[in-house]
Amino acid sequence: MSPTFSSAATIDDALAAMGAGARPVAGGTDLLVGARQGKAPLPDAIVAVDRIAELTGIRDGDATLVMGSLVTHDDLMKDPTVLTRLTALADASAIVGSHATRAQGTIGGNVMNASPAMDTGAPLLCFGTTAVLRSAGAERRLGLDELWTGPGQTSAAPGELMIALEVPLPPAGSGSCYVRLEYRRQMEIAIVGAAAAVTVEGDTVTDVKVAITALTPTIRRVPQAEAALTASAGDDGAVRAAAAAAAAAATPISDVRGSADYRRAMAEVIARRAITGALARARGEHVPVPASSALFGAGQGGAR
């Protein structure tokens, strides 16, 4: 079969093409690169979804932020609500690829690509994000822990298009942070990453979410790390215990970007930085976005 290409104007157009076997492409930043690296050949039938107006825009509700699947990383890192209330997602969006990747790459494509090293995954998981999948005549919602089933694999059926992500907005007194270990400032893939989202009431940490990146087959939360920090004063001992628990959940692989031993050793450091950053933001302290650059920048390098 020779390759075919169509451009959908509506969700229904896209679903019709997908029903006939076409694979969707949005920003395209993963599709060609993945094919060239041998992950998967380019699909014979491609339907471009990047001009579907219904899939664009960030809608800011009282309790939930709804992001159309075509929202770009560049959109996210500049959105006032994301910056102030979902700051870990801004941290992550601001360091995806280069400014070319961020201008074209979409949150929908990023999530559906299901890389265990994706930067936005751990923040989205900490925030309790729900994916909205549309198929011909049906729509369903599922958590990202149900969506991601393995490296590059999701539980979505071939005819399902992810149309939006729904992110509950955290209460006042919350803060979040995403940090990754990187060798290069742009076009980098996380060697190790971690996100934390916390809520502080008075001197007590009342709610904690911690997720780890590039350390397990899918990005996952670590309940033991969350338990170690919950109901604590967010003191150094509790932070270290939580970071150690996060690192203990790691089952990393060795690859060109780092050995399993190195990843395991760095997991605790990165988790500690993410938790420390989240606590600082929850307490109203300023930690610049992206936190990775702020924490690794000139004069502040090395383990903290």
Partner 1 sequence: MKVAAALTVNGTTYPVVIDPHLSLLRAVREEVGLTGSKEGCDDSECGACMMLLDGRPVNSCSYLALQAEGRDITTVEGLADGEQLSALQAAFLREGGVQCGFCTPGMLISATALIAANPDPTDEEIRISLSGNLCRCTGYDGIVRAVHRAATTPSGALGTVDLPAPAHAGNDATPPHRAG
**Interacting residues toward partner 1 by CB under 8 A:** 2-5, 7, 25, 28-29, 31-33, 36-37, 42, 46, 48, 50, 74, 97-101, 103-104, 184-187, 293, 298
CB nearer to partner 1: pick between 115 and 230:
115
Cβ closer to partner 1: 184 or 286?
184
Among the residues of the chain, which ranges form H helices?
11-19, 31-36, 73-78, 80-85, 87-93, 99-104, 107-113, 121-126, 144-147, 223-229, 236-248, 260-282, 291-296
Find the shortest distance in angstroms from Cβ 49 to partner 1.
10
Q: Which is nearer to partner 1, 93 or 218 (CB)?
A: 93
Q: Which residues contact 296 (CB under 8 A, 6 or more apart)?
A: 182
CB of 143 to partner 1, least distance (A): 30
Write down the least CB distance from residue 26 to partner 1, Å. 9
Comparison of 1 and 63: residue with beta carbon closer to partner 1: 1
**Of 63 and 298, CB closest to partner 1:** 298
Dihedral sign of CA atoms 217, 223, 228, 229 in order: positive
Nearer to partner 1, 140 or 185 (CB): 185
Complete edge-to-edge strand list for the sheet that includes strand 220-221: 174-181, 192-201, 204-213, 220-221
CA distance linking residue 4 with residue 24, whole number of Å = 12
Residues in the chain: 304
Q: Which residue has the tokens 């014979």?
A: 44
- Find the shortest distance in angstroms from Cβ 222 to partner 1: 30
Q: How far is the CB of 98 from partner 1 (least distance, A)?
A: 2
- Phi, psi of 285, deg, nearest 5: -80, 150
Q: How far apart are CA 146 and CA 152, in angstroms?
A: 14
Which CB sits closer to partner 1, 237 or 297?
297
- Closest separation between CB of residue 102 and partner 1, Å? 9
Give the shortest CB-214-to-partner 1 separation in angstroms. 18
Number of Cα atoms under 13 Å in the Cβ half of residue 21? 6
Q: What is the largest CA-CA distance in the chain?
A: 64
Which CB sits closer to partner 1, 6 or 135? 6
Query: How do strand 4-7 and strand 45-48 relate by DSSP bridges?
Result: parallel
Return the C-alpha torsion angle 84, 85, 88, 93, nearest 10. Answer: -70
Tokens linked to 30: 């993963």
Quote the least distance from Cβ 105 to partner 1, whole Å: 10
> In degrees rounded to 5, what are phi and psi of residue 130?
-110, 135
Cis geometry, peptide bond prior to residue 290 (ω within 30 degrees of 0): yes
